[in-house]
Structure 1
């Protein structure tokens, strides 16, 4: 039991050092409170990229598990208090991505506010650029493993998205959804 406690202390101290390094590297582009070793957890292999002119805002008690990737390429990412990301989640932002408080994300969830263009017939797809539209994920959401959230999504409060789902459009509150693309599975009693 004692070894478990020592391991946990080392885990949080290492995370705290990672967070301090990121704060030094990005300065005002990374907004978060560093008032204790549990302010924000940053797991091993977490990759953060914030291009000039953009910012990443992390609320209190945000947990970024191992190998998560957050990129503010030409837009801002804001993550609310108490939100948890399991291993290998990706958030890639070209417009704006906002995530509320107390959300849970299973492993390998991808959040992308952009798509590759492919409408110009005489141009290679990889040369056409992107179309973008912001994403808003409100509070008290659970997104199952391997799900993908696409540009323009609004996920309202108290929603569960089943594993391996493709999320598009506006998702109404107090319900469980799943599938490719998602469909209503059941309404959650209030």
Structure 2
């Protein structure tokens, strides 16, 4: 197990260097202890920007695609196959193919100490507050208040109940 973890850490270190070289520190800013597993994908198109806080973790096959701005707070963890997009195709004209209509953009903000479950998709304009749990399979395209549990396949939100030590 130690050998596998060493490989993950080495791969992550190399990929972070490549991302920084490709995108530069203006477009890609990362805090300390950013870790991600295999299949992590990052695409930043000008003038896009991705800022990831300290001590964040992305599990296998997560992707982040920015044309505007994606901000991720400290201590946030992501399950497998999470997708984050700050843009969407325009599709309001029938006389032009969708792929030629351009994009609409909006920033994405994810707070501190959130847990984003597996197979979650976060879309442009979403703002997730601090200490939220986003259940596996959710699609998030609007604001989620701090301290909220968002359950999949519903719009039911619950406030997180803090359990005293």
Matched length:
161
Q: Residue 126 of structure 1: SS of its match in structure 2?
A: helix
Which among 105, 113, 135 is matched to residue 162 of structure 1? 135
Q: TM-score, normalised by structure 1?
A: 0.77
Check conservation: 2:12, 2:35, Cα contact below 8 A: no
1:101 alignment partner in structure 2? 74
2:40 pairs with 1:68: yes
1:172 alignment partner in structure 2? 145
Unaligned runs of 5+ in 1: 32-53
Runs of 4+ in 1 over 3 A off after TM superposition: 4-23
The structural deviation recorded for 1:21 is 4.9
2:92 pairs with 1:146: no
Find the aligned partners of 1:11 and 1:133 in 2 and give their Cα distance.
Answer: 32
Specify the structure having the higher radius of gyration (Cα): 1
2:125 pairs with 1:128: no
1:137 alignment partner in structure 2? 110
Q: TM-score, normalised by structure 2?
A: 0.88
Assess, with a 3 A threshold, how the Cα gap between structure 1 residues 7 and 143 changes in structure 2: closer, same or farther. closer
The structural deviation recorded for 1:14 is 4.8
Q: CA RMSD in A?
A: 1.9
Check conservation: 2:9, 2:35, Cα contact below 8 A: no
Higher strand share: 1
2:57 alignment partner in structure 1? 84
Assess, with a 3 A threshold, how the Cα gap between structure 1 residues 127 and 159 changes in structure 2: closer, same or farther. same
Q: Residue 107 of structure 1: SS of its match in structure 2?
A: coil
